[in-house]
Amino acid sequence: MENKILIIEDNEAIADLIEMNLVVTGYRVKKIADGNQVSRLLTEDRMFDLAIVDIMLPGKNGFELLPYLRQRGIPVIFLTAKDDVASKIKGLKEGAEDYIVKPFEVLELLVRIEKVLERTGRLQKYLSAADIKIYLDIRTVMRGKEEIHLKPLEYDLLVLLVRNKNVTFTRERLLKEVWGDVYIGETRTVDVHIGQLRKKLGIPELIQTIPKIGYRLEDGT
């Protein structure tokens, strides 16, 4: 039940960076660098949940591709160096789900992708890591046939780590993402919750400690 993402980007380094981060977080990815090749690709494979589209492309540009992708039911996030207000308004008014200006933060892009998938009803119904499944609609965690009972913050922490497999988070970033900006307290609370998660999941090596930085969920499945 992996979501499939189409990257339409002619800058190879940027396309490879996006692909690498999407793959390690559990998405399937297809890259294409020329706007003129999109129609041929979609006659062969139409099953994409989202397209990340540059505007300035060889062949058809991103604005020209937008109605074509929308007609095929593929939501679009523009990822572009065009930072003028007129381009942003044009992209959003014509139906793009989001508009991100380069340079960009990879983690922010991942969050925006997730939000668009959720808003459009395409977000996968469960997440998995090792033999653990997280059923998002009912907030239930299973290992095999056994339910793992987590407290709300433990659950939210696990979901964040599983959605960002193989991505290292600082303790400060985990506090911000899970506890929120209003939290006032020590980063020690992250260590306590990670310890509880490891114990309850029964796979202590799944969540790795990265010395002097934070934590990373490592999963090769």
pLDDT tens digit string along 134-155? 988 788 999 988 999 999 999 9
Alpha-carbon gap, residue 15 to 112, rounded angstroms: 17
SS3 5: strand
Indicate the length of the chain as a whole number: 221
pTM of the model: 0.64
CATH node for 126-217: 1.10.10.10
Write b or e for each residue in 177-187: b if 16 or more Cβ atoms lie within 10 A of its Cβ, otherwise e.
Answer: bbbeeeeeeee
Amino acid identity of 122? R
Domain with CATH 1.10.10.10 in the chain: 126-217
Average pLDDT over residues 32-61: 93
Instruction: Evaluate the CA torsion angle 58, 62, 67, 69 in order and state its sign.
Output: positive
Contact 77, 113 (CB under 8 A): yes
CATH number of 4-119: 3.40.50.2300
Rounded to a whole number of angstroms, the distance between the first and last alpha carbons of the chain is 13
DSSP letter for 123, please.
Answer: S
Residues of the chain with CATH 3.40.50.2300: 4-119
Average pLDDT rounded to a whole number, residues 31-55: 92
How far apart CA 81 and CA 99 sit, in angstroms, is 10
Neighbouring-strand partners of residue 29: 5
Contact 58, 88 (CB under 8 A): no
Q: Under a CB-based contact definition with an 8 Å cutoff, are residues 26 and 165 in contact?
A: yes
What pLDDT does residue 17 have? 95
The rounded mean pLDDT for the chain is 91
6 pairs with which residues across the strands? 30, 51
Residue 123 has pLDDT above 70, yes or no: yes
Is residue 80 a contact partner of residue 92, using CB atoms and an 8 Å limit?
Answer: no
Strand partners, 209: 215
